[in-house]
């Protein structure tokens, strides 16, 4: 499989190109980078579900919580190794994601959004109420992955995770499954009568996106060291939606660009507090009205305009298309 080999090569190059950052960045900035990479994984997973398959789930952040709590609880109570805990979290999330996908099979847009939102709230309440096990709002101390809360070693893990998520998502999108997903999004009935097993693939994407979130959530839990139901609130989901839409819904790089952009902006405007959410909402409205393909779309349009001015570049791009 030469394409996969080439892509693995690109990932190695990207890893090497970005691995030096913690040496020049402060500890605080490294932490922002780690968090950005965490959101990159979440946003890519949600874009597969909402952007490519048209299933606007509002429970994506919940699966990060499922991953984090499953892993922390198993490590604490069953004394399993940390990586086994995270893998178990992914498995549990895949199962629940498959179940939620099954529940939503016959639901259209708004009903699916409502059902997944209700599911997310239920699970958050469950975590809050079952405080004997989860310690609820008091917070559950999750053991550190590297026996330190300092961000640098975690950066190397999350950089790898983000690149792995990009690679896996790209492989899915370029495979026949990617064609099924886009067909389902554009017209589910037409996809079905053209032979696509729409139920099977909708569930599949639900499960896969849940795994993305759970793996990211699992590692994140063992990085921050304290789990609480707060990140299972709707706010967290809203941030993911904002990231994907601002970056570019339905574009492949959209969630990557959006996650880093919004996380960095959010940190830069930390002094604004909750007002940031208003700003993000305005940004989403602006983008949705004027630039549906988000920052990536704007970038591509600028690139085309620039290429038109430079004849050599224009020849190169038009040659590729023809």
Smallest distance, Å, CB 209 to other proteins? 20
Nearest to 14 by CA among 262, 190, 253: 253
**DSSP code at position 141:** E
Tell me whether residue 216 or residue 249 sits nearer to other proteins (CB atom).
Answer: 249
Using the contact rule CB under 8 A, the part of the chain among 96-104, 119-127, 149-157, 175-183 near other proteins is 175-183
Instruction: Draw the binding track, 192-211, toward other proteins (x: CB under 8 A; -: no contact).
Output: xxxxxxxx------------
Tell me whether residue 130 or residue 197 sits nearer to other proteins (CB atom).
Answer: 197
- Is residue 186 near other proteins by the rule CB under 8 A? yes
Contacts of 300 (CB under 8 A, 6+ apart): 293
**Is the Cβ–Cβ distance between 93 and 211 less than 8 Å?**
yes
Residues 250-269 that bind other proteins (CB under 8 A): 250
How many chain residues interact with other proteins (CB under 8 A)?
A: 21
Using the contact rule CB under 8 A, the part of the chain among 13-21, 83-91, 138-146, 184-192 near other proteins is 184-192
Contacts of 154 (CB under 8 A, 6+ apart): 34, 145, 146, 219, 223
**Which of 39, 46, 119, 180 touches other proteins by CB under 8 A?**
180
Smallest distance, Å, CB 212 to other proteins? 23
Rounded to an integer, what is the distance from CA 236 to the centroid of its chain? 12
Smallest distance, Å, CB 193 to other proteins? 5
DSSP assignment string, 216-244: HHHHHHHHH-EE-SGGGSHHHHHHHHHHH
Residue 112 CA to residue 89 CA, distance in Å, equals: 24
Residue 299 CA to residue 303 CA, distance in Å, equals: 6
Tell me whether residue 148 or residue 175 sits nearer to other proteins (CB atom).
Answer: 175
Tell me whether residue 29 or residue 185 sits nearer to other proteins (CB atom).
Answer: 185
Tell me whether residue 193 or residue 271 sits nearer to other proteins (CB atom).
Answer: 193
**Which of 13, 19, 109, 179 touches other proteins by CB under 8 A?**
179
Contacts of 121 (CB under 8 A, 6+ apart): 234
Smallest distance, Å, CB 246 to other proteins? 20
- Is residue 190 near other proteins by the rule CB under 8 A? yes
Residue 13 CA to residue 25 CA, distance in Å, equals: 20
Using the contact rule CB under 8 A, the part of the chain among 28-36, 144-152, 180-188, 306-314 near other proteins is 180-188
Q: Whose structure tokens read 């959410």?
A: 277
DSSP assignment string, 289-307: HH-TTHHHHHHHHHHHHHH
**Which of 7, 135, 182, 300 touches other proteins by CB under 8 A?**
182
- Is residue 189 near other proteins by the rule CB under 8 A? yes
- The three-state secondary structure class of 249 is coil
**Which of 3, 108, 176, 304 touches other proteins by CB under 8 A?**
176
**Is the Cβ–Cβ distance between 52 and 173 less than 8 Å?**
yes
Residues in the site for other proteins, rule: CB under 8 A? Answer: 176, 179-180, 182-183, 185-187, 189-199, 250, 321
């Amino acid at each position: 499989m030469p394409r996969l080999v080439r892509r693995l090569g690109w990932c190695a190059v990207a890893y090497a190109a970005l691995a030096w950052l913690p040496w020049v960045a402060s500890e605080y900035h490294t932490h922002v980078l780690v968090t950005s990479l965490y959101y990159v994984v979440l946003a890519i997973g949600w874009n597969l579900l909402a952007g490519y398959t048209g299933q606007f789930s509002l429970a994506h952040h919940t699966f990060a919580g499922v991953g984090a709590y499953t892993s922390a609880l198993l490590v604490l109570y069953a004394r399993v190794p940390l990586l086994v805990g995270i893998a178990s979290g992914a498995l549990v999330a895949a199962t629940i994601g498959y179940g939620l996908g099954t529940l939503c099979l016959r639901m259209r847009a708004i009903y699916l959004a409502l059902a997944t939102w209700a599911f997310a709230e239920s699970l958050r309440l469950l975590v809050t109420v079952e405080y004997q096990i989860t310690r609820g709002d008091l917070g559950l101390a999750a053991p550190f992955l590297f026996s330190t809360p300092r961000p640098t070693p975690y950066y190397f893990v999350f950089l790898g995770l983000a690149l792995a998520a990009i690679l896996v998502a790209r492989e899915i999108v370029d495979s026949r499954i990617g064609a099924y997903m886009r067909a389902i999004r554009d017209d589910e009935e037409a996809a079905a009568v053209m032979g696509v097993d729409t139920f099977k693939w909708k569930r599949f994407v639900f499960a896969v996106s849940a795994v993305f979130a759970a793996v990211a959530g699992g590692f994140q839990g063992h990085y921050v060291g304290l789990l609480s139901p707060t990140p299972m609130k709707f706010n967290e989901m809203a941030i993911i939606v904002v990231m994907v839409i601002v970056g570019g819904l339905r574009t492949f790089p959209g969630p990557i660009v959006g996650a880093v952009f919004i996380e960095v902006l959010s940190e830069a405007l930390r002094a604004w507090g909750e007002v940031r959410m208003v700003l993000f909402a305005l940004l989403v409205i602006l983008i949705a009205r004027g630039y549906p393909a988000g920052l990536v779309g704007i970038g591509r349009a600028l690139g085309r305009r620039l290429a038109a001015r430079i004849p050599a570049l224009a020849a190169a791009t038009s040659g590729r298309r023809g």
